[in-house]
Amino acid sequence: MKRLDEYWYNQNPVAWILWPLSLIFCLIVSLRKFFYQINLFKTPAISVPVIIVGNISVGGTGKTPLLISLCKHLQALGFRPGIISRGYGGQAASWPQIVTSDSQPLLVGDEPVLISRRTDCPVVVGPDRVSDIEQLLARDNCNIILSDDGLQHYRLDRDLEIAVIDAARLTGNGFCLPAGPLREPLRRLKTVDMVVYNGGNSQALTFSLEHDQLLSVSNDNESLLLESLRDKSVHAIAGIGHPERFFNLLTSYGLDIIKHRFPDHYSYTIEDLSFNDELPILMTEKDAVKCKSFNIANSWYLPVSAILSEATKNKFNQLIKQVKNG
């Protein structure tokens, strides 16, 4: 039987059967947002600007690489960013949690550890993003906050909203959960400050993902050109929101891949990567943070960097200037 999300990207009988439930879901989301707008539910004030980098759909859109790129861009502009995240998959006994490059992904989630390693910025995770910011500001001299996801976390006050869309999959069949992939109705995109596409044409605000060099999972000082594996068989591991993007990328380089799909934020064991052969094992950077301690020979990950288009940079700079000037 197909997974439910395989019905989300086209019009089909299953989606239409679930459509009445989507209407109920949309109503609940809209009411919740309305209650915050009329101050029935309170939104605490934040003393520094808050930028949310999120999406209105379920599944991977390239949000994390974009957030990392925007963070580095802010650092280049002289800001001192701090980052908050939900910490999906984290099993810590209490929240919020401070994240460092040495934190255990099992406790705080995989993406926050990746973000900490790539940005060298203070990172705090937890289900209550307001509490996360309070913890962050109490410990670090941050003058701007980036929220990894959180468009739907209306308790969090925000100065800028950036919605990320996968240009290949767009918004699926346009239905809200559970009939489609949307967390909010499509009209929500008209209220955000920027809609940025992962890929796509030059008419929109876009970014592209840059990658060509593999790094050893157990030793970042060892590298391997992806091109060097052309026409060779490899095991491809992906526990991300949209694993086909990773698989298609490897195929585009001419690799003969053996696919191993895992759920998003999956907690790996060494047995998951034991294939009883000597073929290279390739995985995403998000997977690698959870597999580093296994010390498996010939295992590699593909670091991904988001390259902002000039239009995206200019629009972001313009919005930051407006926020900075009040």
Q: Is residue 52 part of a domain?
A: yes
Average pLDDT, the chain: 93
Q: Same structural domain for residues 191 and 224? A: no
pLDDT at 326 over 90: no
Q: Same structural domain for residues 265 and 164? A: no
Question: Per-residue pLDDT averaged across 301-318, rounded?
Answer: 95
Q: Which domain holds residue 197?
A: 6-79+143-207+307-324
Q: Same structural domain for residues 32 and 180? A: yes
Q: Same structural domain for residues 151 and 294? A: no
pLDDT in tens, 131-171: 999 999 999 999 999 999 999 999 999 999 999 999 988 99
Q: Same structural domain for residues 234 and 295? A: yes
Does residue 59 or residue 270 have the better pLDDT?
270
Q: What angle do CA 81, 94, 107 make, to 5 degrees?
A: 70
pLDDT at 2 over 70: no
Q: Is residue 117 part of a domain?
A: no
Strand positions, DSSP E, the chain: 50-54, 81-85, 97-99, 123-125, 144-148, 160-166, 194-198, 206-210, 213-216, 223-225, 233-238, 256-261, 281-284, 299-302, 305-308
pLDDT at 64 over 60: yes
Of 3-7, 135-139, 264-268, 302-306, the range with the lowest mean pLDDT is: 3-7
Do residues 209 and 304 make contact, with C-beta atoms less than 8 angstroms apart? Answer: yes
Q: Same structural domain for residues 241 and 261? A: yes
How many Å apart are CA 110 and CA 113, to the nearest integer?
A: 5
Q: Is residue 198 part of a domain?
A: yes
pLDDT at 205 over 70: yes
pLDDT in tens, 94-125: 999 999 999 999 999 999 999 999 999 999 99
Q: Is residue 265 part of a domain?
A: yes
- Residue 203's pLDDT band (cuts 50, 70, 90): low
Q: Is residue 119 part of a domain?
A: no
Give me the pLDDT at residue 247, please: 96
Q: Same structural domain for residues 299 and 311? A: no
Q: Same structural domain for residues 154 and 258? A: no
Q: Same structural domain for residues 229 and 317? A: no
Q: Is residue 39 part of a domain?
A: yes
Token pair belonging to 55:
């999406």
Q: Is residue 113 part of a domain?
A: no
- Residue 202's pLDDT band (cuts 50, 70, 90): low
Structural domains in the chain (count): 2
Instruction: Tell me the pTM.
Output: 0.93
Q: Same structural domain for residues 235 and 194? A: no
Question: Per-residue pLDDT averaged across 6-25, rounded?
Answer: 92
Token pair belonging to 132:
């996360």
pLDDT at 4 over 60: yes
Of 2-6, 17-21, 54-58, 130-134, the range with the lowest mean pLDDT is: 2-6
3-state DSSP of 196-238: EEECCCCCCCEEEEECCEEEECCCCCCEEEHHHHCCCEEEEEE
Give me the pLDDT at residue 1, please: 39
Q: Same structural domain for residues 154 and 64? A: yes
Q: Same structural domain for residues 240 and 316? A: no
* Secondary structure letter of residue 95 according to DSSP: S
Q: Is residue 200 part of a domain?
A: yes
Neighbours of 15 (CB within 10 A): 21
